[in-house]
Structure 1
């Protein structure tokens, strides 16, 4: 492991690295001037960590920092809940074109940490990009995590039908971000289970849209929530985070949504307040860092950090069910009961 006693400013080849002061997190800014490349990498602790490379050129530094700090903390919690001996990490490249040269410099930066950051795909990056990153670091996954993530979400969807006295073939599901890697894989899983799938995406990729429609998805190109007349039971957010807020939650209630269960990270815009709002309105929530853990487990398996990947993915649905059932019994938000649930289970497993 790299020593924690690093200077606040140093170079890795042509990469300028600067510490970002933070009271809880270890945060680093990196830049390559000739490429206009700028990014932030955040660690929650000293242990190895798995986290994606998010690449959205044109994002502000402040917005990137806010986003990536929340995602790193979410990865730490997700790892702990899955019983993995990992901390959390996430990278956000907020400036610079995603060229092969830039990807190789990102790889050099990751290699410097000697396994503290095991990188994978995220928004704005693809498996082909990871192949280029791998030219300069061994600590990057080239496994496609999306099907594994989708399997966990679909497992929760199937298991939670017991809460409503129905069966999978009776469910109508609205997948937001259905043209994305996870959204597409999830639609495949749900249709295979006999569910009726509606979905939306703002992509302009006509081939991808055609592929989604070819699955049998009722597709909408605008960014919106399910409508009451569509009689949707489950809302599956599979794009950006922060989608559950004081505006959207009442609209989901008006649309008759029973359950929110999707792959997006950090879905609660206001943390516990958003979870409580949903609970009060009678909308069940599949805790995002539980239902979407399949991708993390797949990468952990690739690096021999988990021995029972399949078993852990398969038990995802039952854990989501247990949390929601406990929320009903105690009349408390899922976010509250989850803390006690996982504290007990992690202690029992120790």
Structure 2
């Protein structure tokens, strides 16, 4: 386990670019980055702690195979840095007493994931002494957190049988729906979704639960997913749902009122924004804005963007609650505040004359700055 060191001046390798981000970019400012390795199990991991100003850093563990041609270690490091910073802002706006962190295990989970590797990873997290609390993310599941917890007590997202809250998709979808109601109210003067057309891109763990709520609310729902089984499950449950053949077809549908990206990040980009016909973007996917400036492009087109890290914070609210002995009703009550927070962001955006994404950052940064001024220990 090794702390990352700065690159040699003039080094132009991918690793040097990431380290430049860590130490010099506005996207950096991380308190600590740790590289973890356990050769007997094949573990290679990055743990990034962005901030502990509000409390122990909380964020999931991503298990992902990065293309060898793209320098997998460098790509994983860049991913961890970006995701950890995002968790700082997400936790701050969720009103949690947690800073932001993220971990990435490098490799194909279908090929290298094992009990021994997860136990070794747990020991790496435990060595941080509580500065970082881990949970599930892409490629890791409740059963994996049960294993990690055997060597690390700073683990959440466990199964109910092991004292945890189980799958956090339920509260994630609930929070997205609450944010969508706030968005509709701000845009159209009413949270009523009856007769509105909502396009859900990605109907996996969160997306299909969101569809359930939208149908119950009287919305007309369009969906797209690269997984035909996921689409089939939705159509079986809700025959009125319309499945489209591509993402472009979904976002450019002339009847679309709300676009809900619930799959991959980077979906709001120079290609998709000009095609988008919706008046609102509100979905569960992380890191929806492909690059800085997209939030301005959306605003210039009159599209109301609900910042993703606010919209999808129901999941982190659930896993944070687990650390205090999980109570679903208590966690759901806190997740309901996502509607109020979304409303506050839109009001701040209007008063400051900035896009909602900028307003959300400002609100989060204010809370973090207040915590730093108190200079309170996280433990």
TM-score, length basis structure 1: 0.84
Aligned length: 327
Shift of 1:318: 2.6
The match for 1:338 is: 360
The match for 1:73 is: 85
Name which of 221, 238, 261 aligns with 1:197: 221
Shift of 1:55: 0.8
Equivalent runs, 1:1-350 vs 2, <5 Å = 17-21=1-5, 22-23=22-23, 24-25=29-30, 26-46=32-52, 47-59=55-67, 60-95=72-107, 97-141=112-156, 142=158, 143=165, 144-162=167-185, 163-165=187-189, 167-179=192-204, 181-203=205-227, 206=229, 208-216=230-238, 217-220=241-244, 222-224=246-248, 226-229=250-253, 231-252=255-276, 256-271=277-292, 273-304=293-324, 309-328=331-350, 330-342=352-364
Shift of 1:226: 1.8
- Structure 1: stretches of 5+ with no match in the other structure: 1-16
What SS is found at the alignment partner of 1:315? helix
What SS is found at the alignment partner of 2:250? coil
What SS is found at the alignment partner of 2:170? helix
Shift of 1:345: 7.0
Question: For residues 129 and 224 of structure 1, do their structure 2 counterparts lie closer, same or farther at Cα, with a shift above 3 Å needed?
Answer: farther
Shift of 1:149: 1.1
For each residue in 1:87-112, what CA deviation from the matched residue of structure 2 results, as whole angstroms up to 9, or x when unmatched? Answer: 11101112251222222222222222
Query: How many Å separate the matches in 1 of 2:326 and 2:41?
Result: 37
What SS is found at the alignment partner of 1:169? coil
Question: For residues 43 and 342 of structure 1, do their structure 2 counterparts lie closer, same or farther at Cα, with a shift above 3 Å needed?
Answer: closer
Query: How many Å separate the matches in 1 of 2:196 and 2:370?
Result: 35
Query: How many Å separate the matches in 2 of 1:345 and 1:65?
Result: 27
8 Å Cα contact 2:224/2:250 also seen in 1: no
Query: How many Å separate the matches in 1 of 2:103 and 2:308?
Result: 19
Question: For residues 121 and 221 of structure 1, do their structure 2 counterparts lie closer, same or farther at Cα, with a shift above 3 Å needed?
Answer: farther
8 Å Cα contact 2:94/2:338 also seen in 1: no
Shift of 1:199: 1.8
Question: For residues 51 and 340 of structure 1, do their structure 2 counterparts lie closer, same or farther at Cα, with a shift above 3 Å needed?
Answer: closer
Query: How many Å separate the matches in 2 of 1:346 and 1:66?
Result: 23
8 Å Cα contact 2:251/2:272 also seen in 1: no
Query: How many Å separate the matches in 1 of 2:76 and 2:124?
Result: 18
Query: How many Å separate the matches in 2 of 1:54 and 1:333?
Result: 30
8 Å Cα contact 2:80/2:104 also seen in 1: yes
Query: How many Å separate the matches in 2 of 1:280 and 1:298?
Result: 35
Question: For residues 81 and 305 of structure 1, do their structure 2 counterparts lie closer, same or farther at Cα, with a shift above 3 Å needed?
Answer: farther
Question: For residues 295 and 248 of structure 1, do their structure 2 counterparts lie closer, same or farther at Cα, with a shift above 3 Å needed?
Answer: same
TM-score, length basis structure 2: 0.78
Shift of 1:348: 9.2
Choose 294-303 or 157-166, whichever is displaced more. Answer: 157-166
